[in-house]
Amino acid sequence: MSRIADAFARARRENRAAFVAYLTAGDPTANATVELASALGDSGADILELGVPFSDPIADGPVIQRAGSRALAGRTTLETVFEMAGRIRDSTRLPLVLFSYVNPLLRRGLSRAAREAEAAGFDAVLLTDVPPEEAGSVRGPFVAAGLDTVFLVSPTSPPARMEAAARLSGGFLYVVSRPGTTGARAALARELPETVRRARRAAGELPIAIGFGISTPETARRAAKLADGVVVGSALVRAAEEAGERRVEAVRRLATSLSAACRREKAWHAR
């Protein structure tokens, strides 16, 4: 069983949704990223998505755009992201997802990037701008390196695309909660339960995780009632940004509350 599969299985046994956290690698420094990852691991996160900063982040809202700009200004590269991942792997038990646009990996060379990602301790790769219809030439090197590939589906995904994304995914299927970019939202979309039902039909036994827009314990609690996992990114990045030198304390506090919100009060079964 992979580390990601084990994390979801453990959460299910404990009657909770897995808490999937996101950080932009290198924001504001490599050392800060490693410290924040350790704090997340200590505060209940089950899985960590480590984002590769990119100059044209079309799927990201302003919070993660700013984080990427800070990381790039600090000369974060794919190579230094792998170095950070190695340090995180040495200091935590968190399964790691390489969260990236495809361009940085193409520039490195897909086969080389896949081998280096696996060697650094990553368990999976999520490419935000590769749809399942165009994944054939991209996915192979990562599968060959032993990495899970995670694909995205959204409320606008037709059944055929959801089925294709689920068929190509390992670890989990990522359900985007609403159309648009990443970013904190005050409430979940009204159509989310129906989106999750459709994704569940496509995914079968594969776990599904909801992301984009989950920012508070209340929204995390509601998402945990629908899915196997809850993904939080912008809220954690923003907490670190606003806290400055006290970023570790701020992220630890928010992560603890989000982790608690992922626990279910009643027995839960996939719908």
In the chain, the percentage of residues whose pLDDT exceeds 90 is 87
Distance CA 183, CA 195 (A): 19
Q: Does the pLDDT value for residue 183 go beyond 70?
A: no
Instruction: Report the pLDDT value the prediction gives residue 208, as an integer from 0 to 100.
Output: 97
Residue 271 included in any domain: no
3-state secondary structure of 99: strand
Residue 267 included in any domain: no
Residue 266 included in any domain: no
Q: Is 60 a catalytic residue?
A: yes
Give the pair of three-digit tokens for residue 260.
């608690």
What is the mean pLDDT of the segment spanning 186-198?
Answer: 83
Residue 241 included in any domain: yes
Catalytic residue among 27, 46, 49, 241: 49
Q: Express each pLDDT in 123-136 by its tens digit.
A: 999 999 999 999 98
Distance CA 173, CA 191 (A): 18
Give the CATH number for residue 69: 3.20.20.70
Which band of pLDDT confidence, cut at 50, 70 and 90, is reported for residue 185? Answer: low
Residue 105 included in any domain: yes
Mean of the per-residue pLDDT values of the chain = 93
Residue 17 included in any domain: yes
Instruction: Report the pLDDT value the prediction gives residue 109, as an integer from 0 to 100.
Output: 97
Q: 60, 181 in Cβ contact below 8 A?
A: yes
Query: Which pTM value belongs to this model?
Result: 0.94
Q: Is 27 a catalytic residue?
A: no
Catalytic residue among 46, 60, 148, 241: 60
What angle in degrees, to the nearest 10, is found between the helix axes of 247-261 and 30-42? 30
* Number of domains composing the chain: 1
Instruction: Report the pLDDT value the prediction gives residue 16, as an integer from 0 to 100.
Output: 97
Distance CA 132, CA 188 (A): 25
Q: Which domain holds residue 196?
A: 3-261
Instruction: Report the pLDDT value the prediction gives residue 8, as an integer from 0 to 100.
Output: 97
Which band of pLDDT confidence, cut at 50, 70 and 90, is reported for residue 191? Answer: confident
Residue 181 included in any domain: yes
Residue 19 included in any domain: yes
